Structure 1
Amino acid sequence: MRDRIWIGVDVGTQSVRVLAVDGEGAVLGRGSHPLTGVRQGDRHEQDPEEWWRATCAAAREAMRGLDPSRIGGLAVDATSGTILLADAAGTPLTPGLMYDDARATAEAERVNDIGAEVWQRLGYQRMQPSWALPKLAWLDEQGSIEDGSRLLHQADLITWRLAGRRLASDASHALKTGYDLLADAWPATVFDRLGLPAAILPEVARPGTVIGEVGPEGAAATGIPAGTPIVAGMTDGCAAQLGAGALGDGSWNSVLGTTLVLKGVSDHLIRDPGGVVYCHRGPGETWLPGGASSSGAGALSRLLPGADLDLLTARAAYRDPGPVVYPLAAARGERFPFTATDLEPFTIGETADDVDRFHGVLTGLACVERLCFDYLDLLGAPTDGALTFTGGGAANRYWSQLRADMLGRRVLLPEQAESAVGMAVLAATATGHSIKETAAAMVRIRAEIAPDKRRHSSLTELYLRFVDHLRDRLPQPLTTHAYRRAEH
């Protein structure tokens, strides 16, 4: 494993990133290429062909100067719940309906009515409109499913192009399409009652399974050698968790990118009556509970387009946190730690200038993150293990310190805070090593942040004001639990 090079492909919202990582965690090659999308109200779409073009460009950049004979395998992660329809040759028939596209409100109600028994057994109770299955039902309502149509998750398009044929989807991406993780099968009765043809569904493999190899055309397009094993990947949040090495019981990884995603490890399935927390299957008999917020660093792009964030950070560091800006990445709608499709951004306090607005977003995100952990604790998820921060937001050291202070917890920062590292780690398990052994060898920690106890106390006051402002939106048990935990 140490002599090989492992390729991790991360298909995100704003770019595709590819890393080439050796068996000891050193990054030997990297590449990235931007992506564009279209947002209109509740809709968010991207061009699937652009995903592939960006993957090819990023892979060629990452492979430059590497010895092809050392490439041991690759794995792909992508955004959770993003889907499209393709024809039998893999040509897209629809745009990519993105992870936060919430157009399928009516279809979600029908999906939840028909699949109630299955979703309850799997612990998440209800699907949200942004999940993949409601969006698939919406496509069906529009007449988009034709004879020969195939459902693809975002990562599936990439693996199909790499291999030159359709490969199995991974169970992680298939979760939001209704895949039954307990039965390891599609719930046929649910799909029958929805009127969705079984033929459109992919085969499914557990993450870490070798599902194919790079074909001649994929090799020519990307520079990744033909014959390279393709390993079934995971969603971007799970990938970041692997890349952070957060694999012990009660460990959590908080991914701050365009949106905030929390993933943890539990020895039991977490069931959420509110339907905002869901579980992936983890290594061995573990479960990976977590949730994806609609809040995140995308709020900075929305509120402060083109701003010099380094300069704003330097100036914010000289001010005490004051205003709190609810940091929605889009115009409205929250998914975690509570559901509110009509929630619009708001500000608690006055913002005098861009520094205040910037600081308010940073503080608001820290409040959302703390509320997420309060909700997870309320559900009985173990939350007292190691905590790591990854994602682009983790590169801002001031923001990471503020988040640690708000939580009152010690935080670890991995050397390479990217989901693509997690996919390189997962690809390396094709050698037969366990995911824990592989992560221990390949994940490097670059820094540790200790919380400032004095600041934690003052930030807790801001946090409770934030909770009070949301009181009408939150389930009463969560409000009570947030106050109880704050007292301790």
Structure 2
Amino acid sequence: MTDENETAWLGLDLGTQSVRALAVTADGTVLGRGSAPLGGRREGVRHEQDPGEWWAAVRTACSSALLTRTGVRIGGLAVCGTSGTVLLTDPEGRPTTPALMYDDGRAAGEAAGLRAAGLAVQDTWALPKALWLVREYGGKGRVTHQPDVVTARLVGRPVPTDSSHALKTGYDVERDAWPDIALELPEVVLPGSRLGEVCPAAAEETGIPAGTPVIAGMTDGCAAQIAAGALRHGSWNSVLGTTLVLKGAAPDPVRDPAGVVYNHRAPGGTWLPGGASSVGAGALPADVDPVAMDERAAAFEPSGAVAYPLVSRGERFPFRAPDATALLLGTPADDADRWAALLQGVAFAERLCLDYLHHLGAPLDGPLTFTGGAARSLYWNQLRADILGRPARIPEQTEPALGMAALASHGTTGTLLAEAAEHMVRIRTVVEPRPGRTALFAEPYARLVDELTERGWLPAPVAAHARGRLAGNTATS
């Protein structure tokens, strides 16, 4: 039965392949969900979407999420999008260009020029892509991030962007300032700020009640971190899907002269440092039964081979090496041993990420959470906990939309974001490392660290720090 006075919070996640909506109560009960597919165009380094599809998908997803419940009040909503996705809009907020997606690589020339001018940007960041759009379409326009298009339609007018999505457009989240550059850049507010209320026209199209508060969101990676409840200082969320992303919470920014780790800012002054690796489950063979292979791989601990399983060329975290390629040291005994080497290799990379963060002085003494598609593998979860030498929490629900529901609750009620997230997040299980297993993997991990150093990819001081933490607990040692 639904309480007639029950309040739900609505989270919207604008992904690459779909829009997802989640209506959830403060205690984590999901009252409704909906989704709608998105198209796109990929050709080589080109990856773009039609921004008009976003609103159509939002209408469908919201209608589905809110269709089955009556008597439920929507207390507020927030929207997340893919980090670095950007387009240009006119003064009324209407798109005037396609949206260049988070991994569109056509602005490499603009990025090189910005780096020469002293700005630390990567080729796929939103700032060089905004310059490319202005040049390519021969005119001006307001730089707009993916969620801004949707929040403008919800409110009925253009709204400020949030500092999380603005980060890769060059916004300095410490100084609260844009770079001095010839672009029409939007006003910026902190995530959790109130942007306005759902207007009557948007209410009619989506089913969201008019007057519902619209709260400034964060990027999808930050949304997933909120959904993992990893917001207390020292907490970390390890998202393992096609690739690996590690994000944590700290009282101060984690300084990294190499630019491998960057920092978002959450409401309340907490900083969210992290980085994205190019290793991950995408390196596993797709034509085998993963459950059966996991069972067979358990006989090879450690494997007879040592892998660094990059999904694609180049590495970004825990070191920057644009020309790095996947490596395999030794010869696996059979396909199960090779599978074991790949699983262990991802966990070694994950450990090296934590060693690098420890080298930079990041706090690591809080809980670690495993999310992402690979967290469905019970065996891999146990293996990772063993190699890292620390427990790992596995939540029931890890959708970025849940993180936006928690942010909507924070922005509307004033509840601390960490508290709102912890109330919504339900931990399914905690995986404890098995005694003696961390030491068992110390020798192959050291071999990998040595090889990465010899190839010139891993800086010697980072390698020395990692060796000094062999076989220990990555949380405190």
Match of 1:370 in 2: 351
Match of 1:128 in 2: 122
RMSD of aligned Cα (Å): 2.7
Moved more, 354-363 or 381-390: 354-363
Moved more, 405-414 or 10-19: 10-19
Amino acid at match of 2:191: P
* 1:297-341 CA-partner distances (Å, limit 9, x unpaired): 3444xx52x655445445444554534554444x32322222222
CA contact (8 A) 2:308 2:326 kept: yes
Q: Is 2:434 the partner of 1:452?
A: yes
Q: Is 2:158 the partner of 1:166?
A: yes
The structural deviation recorded for 1:8 is 1.2
For 1:18-417, what aligned pairs fall within 5 Å after superposition?
18-67=21-70, 69-116=72-119, 126-140=120-134, 142-144=135-137, 146-147=139-140, 149-187=141-179, 190-191=180-181, 196-197=182-183, 199=184, 201-300=185-284, 303-304=285-286, 308-317=289-298, 319-320=300-301, 322=303, 323-329=305-311, 331-350=312-331, 358-417=339-398
Secondary structure of 1:255's counterpart equals strand
> In 2, distance between residues paired with 1:359 and 1:11?
35
Match of 2:424 in 1: 442
CA contact (8 A) 1:387 1:410 kept: yes
> In 1, distance between residues paired with 2:63 and 2:289?
30
Secondary structure of 2:136's counterpart equals coil
> In 2, distance between residues paired with 1:87 and 1:354?
56
Match of 2:470 in 1: 486
> In 2, distance between residues paired with 1:232 and 1:375?
32
> In 2, distance between residues paired with 1:309 and 1:55?
34
> In 1, distance between residues paired with 2:333 and 2:51?
41
> In 2, distance between residues paired with 1:61 and 1:359?
42
Gaps of 5+ in 1: 117-125
Secondary structure of 1:29's counterpart equals strand
Amino acid at match of 1:175: L
**Identity between Structure 1 and Structure 2 (%):** 56
* 1:426-456 CA-partner distances (Å, limit 9, x unpaired): 1001112121332232222221010123332
> In 2, distance between residues paired with 1:3 and 1:232?
23
> In 1, distance between residues paired with 2:292 and 2:61?
29
The structural deviation recorded for 1:114 is 2.7
Query: Alpha carbons of 1:21 and 1:466: their partners in 2 closer, same or farther (altered >3 Å)?
Result: same
> In 2, distance between residues paired with 1:321 and 1:61?
47
Moved more, 320-329 or 448-457: 320-329
CA contact (8 A) 2:195 2:216 kept: yes
Gaps of 5+ in 2: 473-477
TM-score, scaled relative to structure 2: 0.88
TM-score, scaled relative to structure 1: 0.86
Moved more, 270-279 or 318-327: 318-327
CA contact (8 A) 2:441 2:471 kept: no
Amino acid at match of 2:230: A
Secondary structure of 1:291's counterpart equals strand
CA contact (8 A) 2:438 2:471 kept: no
* 1:435-479 CA-partner distances (Å, limit 9, x unpaired): 133223222222101012333223333322322332211111111
Moved more, 347-356 or 20-29: 347-356
Query: Alpha carbons of 1:95 and 1:448: their partners in 2 closer, same or farther (altered >3 Å)?
Result: same
**Whose radius of gyration is greater, 1 or 2?**
2
The structural deviation recorded for 1:417 is 1.8
* 1:396-427 CA-partner distances (Å, limit 9, x unpaired): 22222222112111111222122221111110
> In 1, distance between residues paired with 2:324 and 2:214?
41
Match of 1:12 in 2: 15
